[in-house]
Amino acid sequence: MKAMVLKGISSFRENRSPLELVEVPDPVPGDGEILVMVSACGVCHTELDEIEGRTPPPAFPIIPGHQVVGRVARMGEKVTKFSIGDRVGVGWIYSACGRCSACLEGHENVCAQFRATGRDVNGGYAWFMTVPEKYAYRIPDVFSDTEAAPLLCAGAIGYRSLRLANLKNGQNLGLTGFGASAHLVLKMVKHRYPASEVYVFARSEREREFARELGAVWAGNTEDRSPETLHAVIDTTPAWKPVVEALKNLVCGGRLVINAIRKEEMDKEYLLKLDYPDHLWLEKEIKSVANVARKDISEFLELAAEIPIKPEVHEFRLEEANQALAELKDAKIRGAKVLRME
């Protein structure tokens, strides 16, 4: 099969083609696993974190990609959930131990044996991949393959972030950064919290205009003060500056939710500008998001189908994965980027 393979860590600024299109053997499903013939795979900033070593794969080479949609092509022994030809999705969570207290309470996302699709095991930048059947999800018919792909990570992690924000209907929400995840969060808020207003902070006017198109009541630059104080802010950026700037816009007791696997080091010195009275005093909170659990993906897919939430998608061929990642690195973002298998 064809696959885009990462063979080692490098700086994306210096190496604009870190992934190589190669021919590799088709994977074989083991007991309890299914073989997925991939039709679409979303492109995520986490792939840049893998490439540049902020969350490195434990071994190389590795096939990235964790927003996967495809059809069941083959089944291992003991598979009972799916049949050949079923359309399925795979997200960031590839497996967890299933036995620890976190797993037993439905928090597999913080399991010590959590394994991530496309980092700890081969992912969806390929024609085929395998996955344990209990970590695969049925895709609602309302979505095309490319529409469904971003829902499996950008949507699910946005769903978890919004839940952790503890927003109540009528309260103000801020979004810093306006890419794949944030634009889906805005769509969720419009449906679930119709009396709430969304304020967007983004460094590009293109992103700000996109936010206004989708219903944001205000969109400004990262360092701007919002016209109203905010009960919660969700940060979806890879940088530190938006974190510090967001805190000054929170109400007393407001919560900042950081939706990022890792932060880049490029502006870490911005943390030195953290001012306790302006940014943290009056019982403001900071909450991080760690991965996703299975229930985040399954619940979000149901909600997205009900609304329905359909992401804006820009398609690339498998061999154009480096180009799609370069656009993410250069902040050329409007909606989600998806690889489409020919």
**Residue 335 pLDDT exceeds 90:** no
Given a contact cutoff of 8 angstroms between Cβ atoms, the answer to whether 2 and 318 are in contact is: yes
d(CA 248, CA 234): 13
Give the least confident one: 80-89, 260-269, 319-328.
260-269
Contacts of 102 (CB under 8 A, 6+ apart): 96, 108, 109, 110, 111, 112
d(CA 260, CA 58): 20
- 3-class secondary-structure state, position 6: strand
Neighbours of 78 (CB within 10 A): 10
**pLDDT the model gives residue 332:** 80
Q: What is the pLDDT of residue 13?
A: 84
Number of Cβ within 10 Å of residue 110's Cβ equals: 15
Kindly indicate the confidence band of residue 265, based on its pLDDT and cuts at 50, 70 and 90: confident
Query: In this structure, what DSSP letter does residue 280 have?
Result: I
Mean predicted confidence (pLDDT) in 109-135: 98
Domain ranges of the chain: 2-153+292-340, 156-288
Q: What is the pLDDT of residue 48?
A: 96
87: β partners:
71
Q: What is the pLDDT of residue 342?
A: 81
Question: How far does the chain reach from its first CA to its final CA, in angstroms?
Answer: 12
Half-sphere exposure of 293 (CA within 13 A, CB side): 19
**For residues 157 and 185, is the Cβ–Cβ distance under 8 A?**
no
Tokens found for residue 265: 């080091």
Q: What is the pLDDT of residue 133?
A: 98
Q: Do domains 2-153+292-340 and 156-288 have the same CATH topology?
A: no
- What is the pairing mode between strands 128-132 and 115-116? unpaired
Residues found in the chain: 342
Residue type, 229: T
What average pLDDT score do residues 19-37 get?
98
Q: Which CATH architecture has domain 156-288?
A: 3-Layer(aba) Sandwich (3.40)
Q: Would you say domain 2-153+292-340 falls under CATH 3.20.20.70? A: no
Look at residue 256 and tell me whether its pLDDT is greater than 80.
yes
pLDDT reported for residue 110 = 97
CB 309 within 8 A of CB 151: yes
- Phi and psi dihedrals of 281, rounded to 5? -65, 170
pLDDT for position 266: 83
At residue 161, the pLDDT reads 97
Angle formed by the axes of helices 154-164 and 294-306, nearest 10°: 100
Q: Is 177 left (phi over 0), alpha (psi -120 to 50) or beta?
A: left
Average the pLDDT over 268-280 and give the result: 90
pLDDT in tens, 146-194: 999 999 999 999 999 999 999 999 999 999 999 889 999 999 999 999 9
Q: β-strand 33-43 against 68-75: which pairing, if any?
A: antiparallel
Peptide bond into 61 cis (omega under 30): yes
How many whole angstroms from its chain centre is CA 5?
A: 20
Mean pLDDT of 107-115: 97
Whether 225 has a pLDDT exceeding 80, the answer reads yes
Q: Which two tokens stand for residue 234?
A: 């969700």
